[in-house]
Structure 1
């Protein structure tokens, strides 16, 4: 499957994307947020509950974006996670990637609400998500382990409702 944005193409993750995705995960900036995410032998195909797309810019792999869905009709929504190569930070690639997947989730899959949960100190990610229309809901204290696994940091819960996508 492929989704097209203005700057990026999101393509279902395939085996040929994996080496570059693993390289990006090992960059200090991404590793600090994602830890050893790509370390299992079958990654990224070991989690059947999330749908993963390689983020492509001019056919080069520059990151990955994924979503999961809550299917209970009382709470139906989708959640998003993304990482990008630091080489493309600050160029609008993140905004376009998040906007593209959000448009798909809201308009094609019929979700009315999306959530994303960056680290509370990740100002660049928070600004990116806010530019697409996500709004802060609240701080989740001690929410997630740091990359080293020893300490916990706070997360910022953000959501976007149908009609708020910019």
Structure 2
């Protein structure tokens, strides 16, 4: 579920906005970069994502999913950025921006994210937002580097912990 059409979320350095038809080719190229493809499969539909924009350029995409059952209400986040912009704090800013929106505007008290356990750069970024490790999910997802299975790290963030 995306924010209402036309709504953009402003971070410190990035803007998150609904994807447009013109973004599809760029996002397809980014997700196939070796440094990104190691952790991501090619999505079925980029229209369900938000474009991550920095300096007027689409540099990746971020998505969320919401569990709306009152007893288990929470949201999940996933993100990928072009390798050219890794290590610049833009992924951290994007995740923080979306996390704040999910908490403040959508009323979630808890968020989760589940990077590959070997994806130390992503884990470091998510920790900066306030996500904490919950546990290892064994053989959780495909390891696109080997074709086998990889462990995932379940991390969560409570509403009062977002930085």
TM-score normalised by the chain length of structure 1: 0.91
Report the Cα distance in structure 2 between the residues aligned to 1:77 and 1:133, rounded to whole angstroms.
Answer: 16
| Corresponding position of 2:111 | 114
Q: Which stretches in structure 2 are left out of the alignment for 5+ residues?
A: 1-6
| Corresponding position of 2:26 | 20
Report the Cα distance in structure 1 between the residues aligned to 2:87 and 2:38, rounded to whole angstroms.
Answer: 18
Report the Cα distance in structure 2 between the residues aligned to 1:20 and 1:149, rounded to whole angstroms.
Answer: 26
Q: Is 2:88 the counterpart of 1:86?
A: no
Runs of 4+ in structure 1 over 2 Å off: none
Q: Which stretches in structure 1 are left out of the alignment for 5+ residues?
A: 46-50
Report the Cα distance in structure 2 between the residues aligned to 1:87 and 1:114, rounded to whole angstroms.
Answer: 27
* Cα deviations by residue, 1:92-117 (Å, 9 ceiling, x for unpaired): 10110000000000011100000000
Aligned CA RMSD, in angstroms, stands at: 1.2
Residue 150 of structure 1 deviates from its aligned partner by 3.3
Q: 1:148 and 1:88, CA in 2 relative to 1: closer, same or farther beyond 3 A?
A: closer
Q: 1:24 and 1:144, CA in 2 relative to 1: closer, same or farther beyond 3 A?
A: same
TM-score normalised by the chain length of structure 2: 0.93
For residue 115 of structure 1, give the secondary structure of its aligned residue in structure 2.
strand
